[in-house]
Amino acid sequence: MFALLTGMSADAADPVAADSAAARALFIKSCSACHGSSGDGSGIAARSLKPPPADLTDAAHMATRTDEQLKQAITDGGSAAGLSASMPAFKSVLSAEEIDALVVWIRSLSPTKSEEVSP
pTM: 0.79
* Residue 114 DSSP one-character state: -
| Res. 11 pLDDT band, cuts 50 70 90 | very low
Q: Which pLDDT tens digit goes with each residue over 13-31?
A: 565 676 889 999 999 999 9
Is 40 part of any domain? no
Using only C-alpha atoms, the chain has a radius of gyration, in whole angstroms, of 16
Contacts of residue 34, defined as CB under 8 A and 6 or more positions apart, other chains included, come to 41, 43, 45, 46, 49, 53, 86, 87
Q: Which pLDDT tens digit goes with each residue over 32-89?
A: 999 999 999 999 999 999 999 999 999 999 999 999 999 999 999 999 999 999 999 9
| Res. 112 pLDDT band, cuts 50 70 90 | low
Is 104 part of any domain? yes
Is 85 part of any domain? yes
Is 96 part of any domain? yes
Name the domain count of the chain.
1
CA 87 – CA 78 distance, rounded (Å): 5
Q: Is the pLDDT of residue 113 over 60?
A: no
Whether the Cβ atoms of residue 10 and residue 17 lie closer than 8 Å to each other: yes
CA 49 – CA 15 distance, rounded (Å): 36
Domain of residue 58, residue span: 18-26+53-114
Is 39 part of any domain? no
Q: What is the pLDDT of residue 111?
A: 76
CA 20 – CA 109 distance, rounded (Å): 12
